[in-house]
Amino acid sequence: ETGVTQTPRHLVMGMTNKKSLKCEQHLGHNAMYWYKQSAKKPLELMFVYNFKEQTENNSVPSRFSPECPNSSHLFLHLHTLQPEDSALYLCASSQDGVSNQPQHFGDGTRLSIL
Amino acid sequence: QKEVEQDPGPLSVPEGAIVSLNCTYSNSAFQYFMWYRQYSRKGPELLMYTYSSGNKEDGRFTAQVDKSSKYISLFIRDSQPSDSATYLCAMSAPYDNFNKFYFGSGTKLNVKP
């Protein structure tokens, strides 16, 4: 495996379900990110982890809960989501969280809330 | 005012044309500029990464930064149907918190055979 891998690629869930998105990077990076991508809108930064420490929570509702057990893995735990949360969720990584090095993205999880 | 403005398109061109994609921005502190290509059902893929003003060339792609005008461009020469994708610009400022990137909303490009 190379690059940034996200699973599952597609997820359909009801508003009362609990699910988790997984991201793994094989680039030796130390910073990882969660973004939300909606149609015709810029990527919305949700969370940033730098050396496993959360450095940003961009006013994201508490129904989204991130977890970063080590520098290679990132999770996004979901519960009681709303229909407006349907979107593509992208994970990215970069060398670190401060040096302006480019971010490398996975292919995302397409989330649909029923 | 958005930090980064990008025409959403779609932009439709014939194969072999020269394509110009553009973004404008408002924050004069931006020093790092990136272009990403995103195919349907895929994540953004880094195409070009430049620092400060000037040009950078990589094969058929040229990135241009004009900081005085707060304007960046991506030129694609001899465009191919395989270049059909959405192109995102992104930028960041040095010493900004947590390496925050500011993205445009993307321009959809369609290269017709």
Q: What is the pLDDT of residues B98-108, one digit of tens each?
A: 678 999 999 99
Q: What is the tens place of the pLDDT at every residue in B44-74?
A: 999 999 998 889 999 999 999 999 999 999 9
Cα–Cα distance, A94 to A97 (Å, whole number): 7
Chain B: closest CA distance from residue A93 (Å): 11
Identify residue A57 by its one-letter amino acid code.
N
Q: Check CB contact under 8 Å for A100 and B31.
A: yes
pLDDT in the model for residue B8: 87
Cα–Cα distance, A114 to A91 (Å, whole number): 23
Measured in degrees and rounded to the nearest 5, phi and psi for residue B99 equal 55, 45
pLDDT in the model for residue B108: 96
Q: With bands split at pLDDT 50, 70 and 90, how would you rate the model's confidence at A98?
A: confident
Return mean pLDDT, chain A.
92
Q: Check CB contact under 8 Å for A100 and B41.
A: no
Tokens of B25: 């921005």
Contact between A113 and A86 under an 8 Å Cβ cutoff? The reply is: yes
Number of residues assigned to chain B:
113
Cα–Cα distance, A15 to B72 (Å, whole number): 42
**Residue among A45, A105, A107 whose CB faces B100 most closely:** A45
pLDDT at residue B93 greater than cutoff 70: yes
Tell me which chain B residues have a C-beta less than 8 angstroms from the C-beta of A42. 2, 4, 102-106
pLDDT at residue B11 greater than cutoff 60: yes
Nearest by Cα to A43 from A81, A88, A98: A88
- DSSP code of residue A27: S
Tell me which chain B residues have a C-beta less than 8 angstroms from the C-beta of A98. 95, 98-99
Tokens of B45: 């893929």
Between A55 and A112, whose confidence is greater? Answer: A112
Nearest by Cα to A106 from A2, A1, A5: A5
Query: Mean pLDDT across the stretch A84-89?
Result: 96
